[in-house]
Structure 1
Amino acid sequence: MTTDFTEALLSADRPVVMEIKPADGNGTDLLGGRPVAEVVAAYERAGAPCLSVVTGRWFGGDEQLLAEVAGRTRLPLLRKDFVTRTAHISRSRELGASAVLLTARLLTRDSLRALAEECLRQGLTPFVEVSDAHQAAAVPFGTESVVAVANKDITDRERGPADPPAGTALLPAVRATGTRCPVSASGIASPAQAAGLLRAGFAGLLIGTALLRGGHPDDWLAELDRIRHEPAVRT
């Protein structure tokens, strides 16, 4: 079970973790009255290899949202929340998660190790999010984890600006963890930006707000495909 999430992302034609969250960091509604079932179905039609489900209350989520999504899809699910105790790992598994977000910025080195170890013991993938090279150097069990670069600051509830291109500078530090699956997470605004991150060497992307605001993820992702497959321009 530990490989479900990682393998699904690595083998996908569109290596995008598509996110379900009721609101952005400023409290703006992202679902627009759409039922969760409709969003899940749209993501499945768009070829999502796996989904991220935000259960954090700052973004309008809760545990029931994860349970509902798990009841409507067989895709591997990431629980995205402030996970700080091993009991949260057990609960995530009960609710149907295949992976759990561990935010290195919010955890001590010992806590991060204990939580990642518990994820692996329970058959879940640690999805470790880092903000700098120091945090990347502290990632435990890197070969068995997804390691993601956070493009927004979680300490201000992701209300500030994002700078995904700057995250490419962290790729060497992320690869040094041993992960097979470096991911650029959040704040990815356009298909062109997404394509650039994949070309830079990220194996996957986590995108929520841009897909939810657009209302039609197929169109956004089709544009990503078009840009990705354009011939490289020679100078």
Structure 2
Amino acid sequence: MDSPFIEALLAAPRPLVMEIKPRDAHGTDLLAGRDPAELVAVYEAAGAPCLSVVTGRWFGGTPGLLREVARHASVPLLQKDFITRRDQLTAARELGASAVLLTAGLLPASALRTLVDAALREGLTPFVEITGEAELERVPRPGDCVIAVNNKDIRTRERGPADLERSIALLPALRAAGTPCPVSASGIDSPGAAGRLLSAGYRGLLVGTALLRSDDLGAWTTVHPSTHR
């Protein structure tokens, strides 16, 4: 399937999926009075090839946030939520998403297979999040999916520390599975950490809290694999 989301990441010199979410895992306000249109403009000016929009209530998101971002964005959008039903996929497409988060650790194998197939029929790229090889082995049609390693633990609502070594350790298995776009997600807290992951071979990084808190977005936009080896 043609995937604008994957194509945008693979073509980007700095493949950062820049995220918009109202709160962090501890409930701290991340928007600081900024509206979605302002963030879209800032991120697109910084060269973001894709944006992630958190609609999950744990992080203060709503479907309306995705709709508002889609009104202003010109790049592909990922909807991040706990998607468990096919009707949520139709709603995601109607709200303006190009890709949808599917969390392998929270979905039975049969449900994950059903949702991946249904997402592809809707024209949505499955962005399948894993934390280990056992979850990776359950991902169907990996050649049509973004497979993302979550460096945090969703079962604790991502409140614990990040483990970037998880991404480093799992990258060979992601490549062997056949995903065209391995992504490292969550807990990437500095341009140096981002550069290390790109140097290791990741084709995309999803960065949220650190960007929303950053006073120097320029430092992130100059990240390059060769910069932080």
TM (norm. structure 1) is: 0.94
The alignment covers a number of residue pairs equal to 229
- Matched residues in 2 for 1:137 and 1:95: separation? 31
Amino acid at match of 2:124: L
Give the residue type in structure 2 aligned to 1:108: P
Q: Work out the CA distance in 2 between the residues paired with 1:212 and 1:94.
A: 26
Distance in 1, matches of 2:227 and 2:44, equals 25
Q: How does 1:110-189 map to 2 (within 5 A)?
A: 110-189=110-189
CA distance in 1, matches of 2:129, 2:149: 6
> Contact 1:165–1:197 at 8 Å: present in 2 too?
no
Evaluate the alpha carbon distance shift between residue 115 and residue 32 of structure 1 in structure 2; reply closer, same or farther with a 3 A threshold. same
| Aligned position for 1:63 | 63
1:94 is matched with 94
Unaligned stretches of 5+ residues in structure 1: none
Whole-Å Cα distance in 2 between the matches of residues 166 and 105 of structure 1?
15
Which deviates more, 171-180 or 72-81? 171-180
Q: CA deviation at 1:221?
A: 2.4
8 Å contact 1:52–1:77 — kept in the other structure? yes
Secondary structure, in 3 states, of the residue corresponding to 2:177? coil
Distance, in Å, in 2 between the alignment partners of 1:25 and 1:104 is 20
Alpha-carbon separation, structure 2, partners of 1:229 and 1:46: 19
Contact conserved, 2:55 with 2:65, CA < 8 A, in 1?
Answer: yes
2:17 alignment partner AA: V
Moved more, 19-28 or 171-180: 171-180
Cα deviation for residue 172 of structure 1 reads 1.8
Asked whether the 8 Å contact 1:188–1:207 carries over to 2, the reply is yes
Give deviations 1:91-129, integer Å, cap 9, x for gaps.
100100000000000000000000000010011100000
CA contact (8 A) 2:195 2:228 kept: no
Q: Offset at 1:215? A: 4.1
1:47-91: CA deviations, max 9, x gaps? 000000000011010000000000001210000000001111011
Distance 2:134 2:69 in 1: 35
TM-score by length of 2: 0.96
Task: Give the whole-Å Cα distance in 2 for the aligned partners of 1:219 and 1:230.
Answer: 11
Q: Give the Cα–Cα distance (whole angstroms) in 1 for the partners of residues 53 and 221 of structure 2.
A: 19
SS in 2 for 1:176: helix
* 1:201 and 2:222 correspond: no
Question: In the TM superposition, what whole-angstrom CA distance separates every residue of 1:4-58 from its partner, at most 9, and x where no partner exists?
Answer: 0000000001111100001100001111111111111110011000000000011
What is the CA–CA distance in structure 2 between the aligned matches of 1:44 and 1:231, rounded to whole Å? 24
Percent identity between matched residues is 59
Query: SS at the partner of 1:158?
Result: coil
Partner of 1:109: 109
Question: What is the one-letter code of the residue matched to 2:83?
Answer: V
Secondary structure in structure 1 of the residue aligned to 2:3 = helix
Change (3 A) 1:78 1:231: closer
- RMSD after superposition: 1.4
Structure 2 contact 153–160 (Cα < 8 Å) conserved: yes
Aligned equivalents of 1:111, 1:195: Cα separation in 2:
35
User: Is the 2:131–2:166 Cα contact (8 Å) retained in structure 1?
Assistant: no
Tell me the equivalent position of 1:7: 7
Task: Please state how far the C-alpha of 1:166 moved relative to its aligned partner.
Answer: 2.7
Q: 1: CA distance between counterparts of 2:28 and 2:152?
A: 16
Q: Distance in 2 between matches of 1:230 and 1:108?
A: 40
